[in-house]
């Protein structure tokens, strides 16, 4: 493991903890050269399904894209990073549980909307309004009415 501060290759593990119900291991490390501490996370390397876009293209699943979508929907909302990470973990668990090699982007979007609805209603409406490409205000109003119920 390279130190992110000085790039020295010798680091020592100071503390190890299982995090998020065993989903990953958190290690606190200290550089043998500069003495600075940093944290690393280890998670199992699993194969996620490819995402099939509306136009038929197949792209690899990208956690960073999912994170960016959630962050955009949750921008300036009272939802912490831990809650967002937990939502991503739940979505990824569902992707793996399906066991398919491919998943339609529509299905992935539905999983995201389900998690956002639990986290924050405003973020859910933001995401859904873009994701569903509303044609008129009545469709948007129907979504807001659904959330109110």
Structural domain includes residue 1: no
Q: Is residue 2 part of a domain?
A: no
What string of pLDDT tens digits covers the 149 residues of the chain? 899 999 999 999 999 998 877 778 999 999 999 999 999 988 877 788 999 998 999 999 999 999 999 999 998 999 888 899 999 999 998 998 888 899 999 899 999 989 998 898 888 888 887 777 777 777 777 777 777 77
Is residue 92 in some structural domain? yes
- Per DSSP, the three-state class of 104 is strand
d(CA 87, CA 47): 19
pLDDT at 27: 94
Q: Are residues 69 and 30 in the same domain?
A: no
35: number of Cβ within 10 Å: 10
Residue 32 belongs to what domain range?
11-42
Domain for residue 143, yes or no? yes
Are residues 131 and 61 both part of a single domain?
A: yes
Tell whether 123 and 59 lie within a shared domain: yes
> What is the model's pLDDT at position 121?
87
Q: Which two tokens stand for residue 19?
A: 């995090």
Q: Are residues 23 and 64 in the same domain?
A: no
SS (H, E, C) 31-57: ECCCCCEEEEEECCCCCCCEEECCCCC
Residues 20 and 70 in one domain: no
- Pair 113, 69 in one domain: yes
One domain for residues 21 and 59 = no
137 and 89 within one domain: yes
Please indicate, yes or no, if residue 57 is contained in any of the structural domains.
yes
d(CA 10, CA 33): 7
Mark whether 62 and 26 lie in a shared domain: no
Are 32 and 59 in the same domain? Answer: no
């Amino acid at each position: 493991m390279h130190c992110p501060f000085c790039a020295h290759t010798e680091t020592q593990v100071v503390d190890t903890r299982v995090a998020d119900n065993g989903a990953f291991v958190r290690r606190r490390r200290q550089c043998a050269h500069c003495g600075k501490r940093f944290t690393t996370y280890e998670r199992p390397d699993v194969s996620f399904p490819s995402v099939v876009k509306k136009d038929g293209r197949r792209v690899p699943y990208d956690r960073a894209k999912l994170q960016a979508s959630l962050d955009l929907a949750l921008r300036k909302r009272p939802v912490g990073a831990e809650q967002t990470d937990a939502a991503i973990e739940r979505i990824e668990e569902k992707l793996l549980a399906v066991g398919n090699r491919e998943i339609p982007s529509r299905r992935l979007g539905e999983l995201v909307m389900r998690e956002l609805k639990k986290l924050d209603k405003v973020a859910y409406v933001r995401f859904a309004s873009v994701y569903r490409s509303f044609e008129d205000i009545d469709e948007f109003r129907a979504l807001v009415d659904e959330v109110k119920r």
